[in-house]
Structure 1
């Protein structure tokens, strides 16, 4: 799989069947879109057209982070579901002013040279989201570009969507979010230096900034982690502001890896959250906190051993 960060691409990347969307999370609905497109045009290489940053980040930078996946993980998940090319279009001021006509002619036709596209019925594009699927139907045909409109994949709760996964994570329903994603929700990041307080408590932790990831419910989670060498280890993670020690301002992910004692500073980990064990809470002191961490770790081991 190749990621193209723009619409000036090599000749061998042209002529694809491309799915259109933000693909945040690459959840089961997105996978359904990709597979339906491939079934419609199995003769063409499968691709995805997406945007970076997420349009909401561009228009409302003051809002809290919302991302389920950052570009590298999104591209990996798209590749795992058959995409041979990811066209990651820069969503900047100029791009936001593209008319729907120019998006079709300059980006899809001249730039990417796609031969077929697919999207959901609610896909909107162009300046002020003035283009819709009816516009695509009218304007793609003159350029010889086919179109497949894919009904959303749904269950009893309605269509699968990135917004629905975000709400589940913020409510602490990690198992349900995992069902909708088709995989555990994973936060990749580089281990940063902390205050070493976890080591003093007997539970050394790897500290990973959430960055642009959405903040799930604050609390303690049973977690697994993909180590730099690819090995999967078990652990217990905390996401929050550590009220017992008055840390205060910035939420962070702190991961204690079971049966591991090594230096991970500066290395990249991929932490998957599986089950929320309890909400964030304040304790009377460090001794009470240490006792609770030991209980959390024991419960996390039981949960993960049962998976």
Structure 2
């Protein structure tokens, strides 16, 4: 089980002395996994930890930006745990914390606070007031303090560096498969199933409705999906992500997932919807009959896409 701490001060002894990966870790993608692996490889005898921030600094300094997070805090922690991280220093980021100098971050937080034995980060890791600290400063100060440091080269493929920004662009452009390849798993949206207006049921395709919440909005449209229920069961389905223009339009984006061959009541449960393939863009239909026919076609297309996806990994 991963243990989460929101302050670096007064930590219990068994929460200190770790090998620590540094960064925001939004998405916990393959590049992040490489930094975590480097932290573990350098000191396999030490607890494996990640130091990150909550909220994301961008949310503090640019609060009016549209949601951009790939992984809310709870999902990020779970994913980090799956990578073997046992200690998560999820430090509260606010204006006061942002005023901490780079030297103070190293001396007070990393050394005196969490007692890091080793650090790992990417070459562009920046920290401290106005991002005044860089890896050169970190290397010099860490050496003086007797803390090891691994600077991990960026992970790249034929199309360039693997980064959270690149994954966001792919999702906004309607390429969940390519985003999933960089994440090391399908991009997923978690939420509590809410009551809707039952239009899907009336059309013969009941749906589990999720508010999108404060996360990145992928391309609006129809997706083939896999859904993990609260009890761990995994189902397949088709989902619409958008604002339902045919039904009068919604003020906020929602995800409506129709689960194949499933008729149980899951209202109020937390489910995870993984986007496997993008089938078509969102559009307005002339009437409900046209919409119903298109949903049937979408369901057939989703089944075919999911079959292809299974075959690719068989």
TM-score (norm 1): 0.98
Q: CA deviation at 1:190?
A: 0.7
Q: CA deviation at 1:142?
A: 2.6
Q: What is the CA RMSD across the aligned residues, in angstroms?
A: 1.0
Q: Does 2:253 match 1:273? A: no
Greater displacement, 137-146 / 255-264: 137-146
Q: CA deviation at 1:159?
A: 1.2
2:179 corresponds to: 177
1:7 corresponds to: 8
Q: Does 2:260 match 1:262? A: no
Which of 19, 22, 27 is the aligned partner of 1:17?
19
Query: How many pairs does the alignment contain?
Result: 307
2:75 corresponds to: 73
2:225 corresponds to: 223
Instruction: List runs of 5+ in structure 2 lacking aligned partners.
Output: none
Which of 35, 38, 46 is the aligned partner of 2:37?
35
Q: Kindly provide the CA deviation profile for residues 103-129 of structure 1, in whole angstroms up to 9, marking residues without a partner as x.
A: 111111121111111110000011111
Which of 120, 133, 136 is the aligned partner of 1:134?
136
Which of 100, 105, 108 is the aligned partner of 2:107?
105
Paired residues for 1:50-61 under 5 Å = 50-61=52-63
Q: CA deviation at 1:151?
A: 0.6
1:83 corresponds to: 85
Q: Kindly provide the CA deviation profile for residues 112-169 of structure 1, in whole angstroms up to 9, marking residues without a partner as x.
A: 1111111100000111111100110122223221111111111111111000000000
4+ runs of 1 displaced by more than 2 Å? none
Instruction: List runs of 5+ in structure 1 lacking aligned partners.
Output: none
Q: Secondary structure at the match of 1:89?
A: strand
1:210 corresponds to: 212
Q: Kindly provide the CA deviation profile for residues 250-300 of structure 1, in whole angstroms up to 9, marking residues without a partner as x.
A: 111111111111222111001100000000011001110011001101111
Which of 196, 199, 202 is the aligned partner of 1:197?
199
Q: CA deviation at 1:18?
A: 0.2
1:118 corresponds to: 120
1: CA distance, partners of 2:98 / 2:266? 40
Q: Kindly provide the CA deviation profile for residues 12-50 of structure 1, in whole angstroms up to 9, marking residues without a partner as x.
A: 010000000000000000001111222222221111001
